[in-house]
A and B are shown apart, each in its own frame.
Chain A
Amino acid sequence: GQQLNQSPQSMFIQEGEDVSMNCTSSSIFNTWLWYKQDPGEGPVLLIALYKAGELTSNGRLTAQFGITRKDSFLNISASIPSDVGIYFCAGRGNAGNMLTFGGGTRLMVKP
Chain B
Amino acid sequence: DAGITQSPRHKVTETGTPVTLRCHQTENHRYMYWYRQDPGHGLRLIHYSYGVKDTDKGEVSDGYSVSRSKTEDFLLTLESATSSQTSVYFCAISDGGYYGYTFGSGTRLTVV
Partner-B contacts on A (CB < 8 A): 1, 6, 31, 33, 35, 40-45, 48, 50, 88, 90, 92, 96-99, 101-104
**A41 contacts B106, C-beta separation under 8 Å:** yes
Q: Residues of B at under 8 Å CB distance from A?
A: 31, 40-43, 48, 50, 59, 90, 92, 94, 96, 98-106
Asked whether A97 lies within 8 Å of B96 as measured between CB atoms, the reply is: yes
Q: How far is the CA of A1 from the CA of B104 in the complex (A)?
A: 26
The 5 closest A-B pairs by CB, nearest first: A42-B103, A103-B42, A33-B100, A101-B43, A97-B96
Bound-complex Cα distance A94 to B48 (A): 17
* Of A6, A31, A101, the contact of B98 (CB 8 Å cutoff): A31
Q: How many Å from the CB of B68 to the closest CB on chain A?
A: 15
A42-B90, A97-B31, A104-B42 known; A48 vs B106 contact (CB < 8 Å): no
In whole Å, how far is B33's beta carbon from the nearest beta carbon of chain A? 9
Tell me which residues across on chain A come within 8 A of B59, comparing CB atoms: 1
Specify the chain B residue showing the minimal Cβ separation from A46.
B100
For B90, the closest partner residue in chain A by CB is: A42
From the candidates B41, B90, B92, name the one contacting A103 in the complex (CB within 8 A): B41
Asked if B100 and A48 sit within 8 Å, CB to CB, the answer is: yes
Which of A6, A40, A42, A99 has the most C-beta atoms of chain B within 10 angstroms of its own C-beta? A42
Separation of A98 and B31 alpha carbons in the complex (Å): 10
What separation, in Å, do the CA atoms of A1 and B60 have in the docked complex? 14
Give the contacting residue for A97; candidates B41, B94, B104; CB below 8 A. B94
With A and B bound together, what is the CA distance between A102 and B37 in angstroms? 12
Beyond A40-B105, A45-B99, A48-B100, list 6 extra A-B contacts (CB 8 Å).
Answer: A31-B98, A43-B43, A88-B42, A88-B43, A97-B31, A99-B100
Write the nearest CB–CB distance from A12 to chain B, whole angstroms: 17
